[in-house]
Amino acid sequence: MAFGSKIGLGKGIITLLGVIMLFACKNDLNKVKSLTEQSELHEMEGEELVLIYSDSARIKYKILTPLYYKVHTETEQYDEFPRGIHVVTYDTAGNVVADIRSKYAKELKEEKLWEARNQVVVTNADGTKLETELMYWDMANRRIYSDRYSRLTAQGNILESSDGFESDDKLERPVFKNITDGRVEVEL
């Protein structure tokens, strides 16, 4: 065999190996894009966290969560708690005002709005208990509300609504929409 034909055969083998490697190393572009976007999405994340929000060195509320994501993109900013949240709120004297639990929560930073979903339970200092599947807390206007089934238990009284409620954020003046059931004791 001539020397030139060996070089040609060698180049052919190298070219063939290159083509095989090119096709063998395929990437699903959608998977790569998804992973890239997801890693860019979370600016910060943590597990088993206790977050403390304060103002003028006084604790306003404390959040306990098994999983936390801080998301900050050009179009949106939010904190997400995909495995649930437990929030304890305090007054200026440091007394517990309310205890809030849900299986999912999200704080929309620019809107100053919290969303709590899935088995939301709010208990305030006097024992009033609110249960719903979806609740919003408008921090700027100090309002909480829902358009889903809600149940309020307070001092032996029970109110249920299929269309939700609206209240101040201390749950002192709740207004229930379309009351479907309830038991209220009235003094005569």
Q: What is the pLDDT of residues 121-169, one digit of tens each?
A: 999 998 999 999 999 999 999 999 999 999 999 888 888 999 999 998 8
What is d(CA 63, CA 101) in angstroms, rounded to the nearest whole number?
10
Q: For residue range 25-44, what is the model confidence (pLDDT) as tens digits?
A: 555 556 555 555 554 567 78
Give the end-to-end CA distance of the chain in Å, rounded to a whole number. Answer: 116
Give the rounded percent of residues in the chain with a pLDDT score beyond 90.
44
Q: For the chain, list the domains and their CATH numbers.
A: 33-183 (2.60.450.10)
The model scores a pTM over 0.75:
no
pLDDT value, residue 102: 97
Q: For residue range 53-62, what is the model confidence (pLDDT) as tens digits?
A: 888 888 988 9
Q: For residue range 79-111, what is the model confidence (pLDDT) as tens digits?
A: 999 999 999 999 889 999 999 999 999 999 899
Q: If you average pLDDT over residues 41-50, what whole number do you get?
A: 85
H runs (alpha helix) in 25-142: 29-41
Q: How far, CA to CA in Å, does 82 sit from each of 66, 130, 149?
A: 9, 21, 22
pLDDT value, residue 188: 41
* Mean of all residue pLDDT scores within the chain: 82
